[in-house]
Amino acid sequence: MKKLHPEFGFNTLAVHAGTAPDPTTGARSFPIYQTTSYVFDDADHAASLFNLQAPGFIYSRLTNPTVAALEEKLATLEGGRGGTVTSSGHAAETLALFPLMSPGMEVIVANKLYGGTINLMGKSYQKFGWKAIFVDSDDPEAFRKAVSEKTRAIFIESIANPGGVVMDIESIARVATEAGVPLVVDNTMATPFLCQPFEWGADLVVHSTTKFLSGQGNAVGGVVIDSGKFPWLGKEKFPSLSTPSPEYNGLTFAETFGDLAYTMYSHAISLRDLGCAQSPMNAWITLNGVETLPLRMERHCNNGLAVAGFLENHPQVEWVSYAGLESSPYYKLGKKYMPDGSGSVFTFGVKGGYESGLTMLESVELFSHVANIGDTRSLILHPASTTHRQLTEEQRIAAGAGPEVIRLSIGIECAEDIICDLEQALSSLS
């Protein structure tokens, strides 16, 4: 793996970044600061904190030591400048766009995304007056053609959920640069262990930390990470960052905070007003999960490739969409952006369509039928009847969630046991 620090590699940073021993007690495991608020030294100290003139903690909706440790760890692993942890992945998507958008403005969005994201951007964002323009994920030129004077961001996933579609980050980043807007990449499925979007020109990265980063399916959360490289200063398209802020006596975030402007705004205004803060307990659980991320991702990828290869040759399977297979149209892009593996979440088409998909769900024994991914356990889902149910049939097919589609999130169990369970479930169909 490429080193993100002149002295330490990725595996070391996953364990140590952001979590030094507690200076007061010497505790080696980072503490859970389960508190709402913090005592000020005096009136001047309080005023300096509220004026954003001094670092420190005010109220846990804005800042919390445990949450801040997670922000530092994840920003370090992504090679970013700063991070803002949120209550969920969807909250992270909304918070990511909040400083950029205003009523009537547009975000260009890849059409192959998690179904909940498509619904959020296509429907719920309309209540803010934001418009999502969906374009073909596989065609960077489609993004360029969609750019208008109202465009304020481009949003894609590094690997689309659930179809395993790998997007050409570098080419789409060039379109964003030409348009003078940031490229936002949801890196949940790949994690920073497999893919580093900032290296390919992305400006902002979001995650559902609920998934692989936490890793055990026990803590909901999200994060927005800023590369610190987008030139906000002087950009009239982004007045929240480039013009005086009435909330802070005319302070201009881009001028005052430089490459930390976006992150400072996200804490001082976005978290303050949207209220989507992550709890200290969930941040602590995720901190511990990230420590084993490299080890888990290696096993996830190895198991994922083995299971995909098995399914590709099974008579009850019509097709497999996994970028790690040489038969995949995304194989070359996968090798470019994720040389160490293509993850462990992918889809396949079962013969017999919708009914066969439901039958298979009821036949597995080792797999858990849940609406989650990135767990240590192997998980199975029928997207058309669950996560993508709210979409039209046309949208489901475009997103890779047609009636015959089964989504797998391969865990870290023995690959032989995972394959055996799928074999007996598929055999029940015939």
pLDDT of 93-147, one tens digit each?
999 999 999 999 999 999 988 888 988 999 999 999 999 999 999 999 999 999 9
Give this prediction's pTM.
0.93
CA–CA distance, 377 with 54 (Å, rounded to integer):
44
297 in Cβ contact with 194 (< 8 Å): yes
pLDDT over 70 percentage in the chain: 97
Q: What is the pLDDT of residue 225?
A: 98
Q: What is the mean pLDDT of residues 361-371?
A: 92
212 in Cβ contact with 293 (< 8 Å): yes
* Those residues with Cβ within 8 angstroms of residue 353's Cβ, 6 or more apart along the chain or in another chain: 403, 404
70 in Cβ contact with 286 (< 8 Å): yes
Q: What is the pLDDT of residue 44?
A: 93
Cis ω before 162 (30° cut-off from 0): yes
pLDDT-derived band at 247, boundaries 50, 70, 90: confident
CA–CA distance, 36 with 46 (Å, rounded to integer):
16
Give the rounded distance of the alpha carbon of 419 from its chain centre: 28
pLDDT over 90 percentage in the chain: 83
- Give pLDDT tens digits for 248-280: 989 999 999 999 999 999 999 999 999 999 999
> Is residue 400 left, alpha or beta, with left meaning phi > 0 and alpha meaning psi from -120 to 50?
left
370 or 168: which leads in pLDDT: 168
Q: Which whole-number Å values give the CA distances from 395 to 119, 146, 159, 388, in the listed order?
A: 10, 19, 18, 9
Q: What is the mean pLDDT of residues 216-236?
A: 96
Is 3's pLDDT higher than 80?
no
The pLDDT mean for the chain works out to: 93
376 in Cβ contact with 323 (< 8 Å): no
Tokens of 319: 């097709």
Q: What is the pLDDT of residue 352?
A: 86
Q: What is the pLDDT of residue 7?
A: 77
CA–CA distance, 394 with 161 (Å, rounded to integer):
17
**Alpha helix positions (H), 3-139:** 10-16, 43-50, 65-78, 89-97, 115-122
pLDDT-derived band at 68, boundaries 50, 70, 90: very high
Is 61's pLDDT higher than 70?
yes
Q: What is the mean pLDDT of residues 303-332?
A: 96
83 in Cβ contact with 75 (< 8 Å): yes
Give the rounded distance of the alpha carbon of 339 from its chain centre: 19
* Those residues with Cβ within 8 angstroms of residue 160's Cβ, 6 or more apart along the chain or in another chain: 110, 112, 113, 114, 137, 166, 167, 189, 399, 400
In DSSP terms, 368 is beta-bridged to: 379
Q: What is the pLDDT of residue 22?
A: 87
227 in Cβ contact with 96 (< 8 Å): no
pLDDT-derived band at 190, boundaries 50, 70, 90: very high
Burial class (CB in 10 A: 0-12, 13-18, 19+), 166: buried
Q: What is the mean pLDDT of residues 42-57?
A: 92
Where b means 16+ CB within 10 Å and e means fewer, 217-250 reads bebbbbbbbbbbebebeeeebbebbbbebeebee
Q: What is the pLDDT of residue 388?
A: 64
DSSP per-residue letters across 167-187? P-HHHHHHHHHHHT--EEEE-
Where b means 16+ CB within 10 Å and e means fewer, 123-140 reads eebeeeebbbbbbebbeb
Q: What is the pLDDT of residue 234?
A: 93
Going along the chain from its start, the domains and CATH numbers come out as 10-100+182-289 (3.40.640.10), 293-427 (3.90.1150.10)
* Three-class SS state of 36: coil
CA–CA distance, 159 with 343 (Å, rounded to integer):
9
Q: What is the mean pLDDT of residues 378-398?
A: 77
User: Comparing C-alpha atoms, which of 66, 14, 1, 8 is closest to residue 291?
Assistant: 14
